Structure 1
């Protein structure tokens, strides 16, 4: 009889229930997080996947993926685990200091199968806008493309952030003959492998006493 079926007159301790759950392979885990998708998001993702479903690893190797990411200048970007003895919860070695409104810097980066590009670090508490983005493409994307691919054909990827879709950016990309992968579906960070790179970089930055080590991305990567 299943553990969850009613059995009159039978009781079980919490320990017994946990053991049975483990025996049945039901282990307590944090719920997986994923973007909340609208019907339009789902439709656009399906269109995107069908468009590139026949691409080979060689085809994807010609794509330069790019994105912006925030980094906190105080505290860690994720959760910190510590080992402590009973009664030592607030010992200095077991506490992670926090502030209400930590300063944040935004960075832009790119990478391809050939390696990582350099980072652009915006001034503290400044987010990317179309002026910054065009300058970043000029100063970072084009040199990275030339360094990694030379005269070989490649494709650039970016998401649908407002500064990416600005008319001045679209015109600039056309003038520079930069081919863009897409159209990129909205609310789809899980499709961009650079998110994995950001996760690695944030963990490494969290281990540094000085977050400004970001100025040398290749040292961290």
Structure 2
């Protein structure tokens, strides 16, 4: 009203305040009728659920996080004989800050896995940076030629879902993939090794990975350094265990089904993003392999160092989750 009292037009006032002319007209009329700018008090539409029903909806979802609004609606109808729309269920859940999100994925954890993860976390919780700097975290990963991280959205209008420009096209089997191995530690990283000509067996792992790469890197690291690799079949094969004992490689005991505790998994994620952001993107498996090797060297060492030294935080999260995922 101050602008209007100064003789400024409604159109210019709306432009200065950032609202429509219709809004300015409503405010002016409200001020003339009531003497203030606040909206008149009103009751609004009555709430169709009671506080008890709201608690029931929330507790039902908290007991089973994978239920959707329609399933909760049907369950409410069967148990309480009350019909409430699925839209109302979604609103009540949103009021409790429960909103649908894409679930995180991970291997199935049985009781023995949780116990082993919790024991590992407690045993290594007191390790300092000096101790973690002696660990070579190694693993394999596979990168497809055509893949999506599931994070990209598309802007579209109503009715444009199947517009060609709004479709994310997929190639069967990802157009092929490249299987690689690498290791990281606080002060460096190994070469990125492409595993070609078939499956990685225990014999190949011992000869092509441990003998050619992991062993020499461990020899150049600090005294008492250890190799960390998971319990995949090529790593636990009898021939690999014999080789490790023969050459004297120290291997860190590792709980099964614990990819979330290996910091190199985050390095794989960053490597995938770097390759996907290349312009132009690789269109052949040979170009993908070359891009992976180049981008692996482009990851700043301080990020790998931060990943290694984040282990105490990861272990603390496992302890809070009683052996579950962090």
Same fold (TM over 0.5): yes
> In the aligned structure 2, how far is the partner of 1:177 from the partner of 1:196?
29
In the TM superposition, residue 17 of structure 1 has moved relative to its aligned partner by 5.1
**Higher percent of residues as helix:** 2
The one of 127, 136, 142 equivalent to 2:215 is 142
- Listed as ranges, the gaps of 5+ residues in structure 1 are none
1:10-49 to 2 correspondences below 5 Å: 18-49=90-121
Distance 1:23 1:196, change over 3 A: same
Taking only aligned residues, the RMSD between alpha carbons, in angstroms, comes to 2.8
1:77–1:140 distance in 2 versus 1, CA, 3 Å? farther
Question: 1:119-134 alignment to 2 at 5 Å?
Answer: 119-123=192-196, 126-134=198-206
User: How big is the shift at 1:35?
Assistant: 2.4
User: Relative contact order (C-alpha < 8 Å, sep 6+): which is higher?
Assistant: 1
Query: In the alignment, which of 229, 246, 268 is matched to residue 175 of structure 1?
Result: 246
Determine if contact 1:63/1:112 at 8 Å carries over to the other structure: yes
Task: Name whichever of 129-138 and 157-166 sits farther off.
Answer: 129-138
Q: Deviations over 1:91-127 (max 9, x none)?
A: 4443332233331221111101113221111127x33
* Structure ID, larger Rg: 2
State TM-score, norm by structure 2. 0.57
1:82 aligns with 2:160: no
TM-score, normalisation: structure 1: 0.81
The residue that corresponds to 1:219 in the other structure is 298
TM-aligned CA deviation for residue 11 of structure 1: 8.1
Q: How many residues are treated as equivalent by the alignment?
A: 215
The alpha carbon displacement at 1:192 in A equals: 1.3
The superposition leaves residues 143-178 of structure 1 with CA deviations (integer Å, 9 ceiling, x where unpaired) of 33345x2x5331110111111112222222223221
Aligned match of 2:276 in 179, 202, 206?
A: 206
CA deviation map 1:170-220 (0-9, x unaligned): 2222232211110x2221212211111112212222223112301221125
For 2:270 and 2:139, the matched residues in 1 are separated by 15
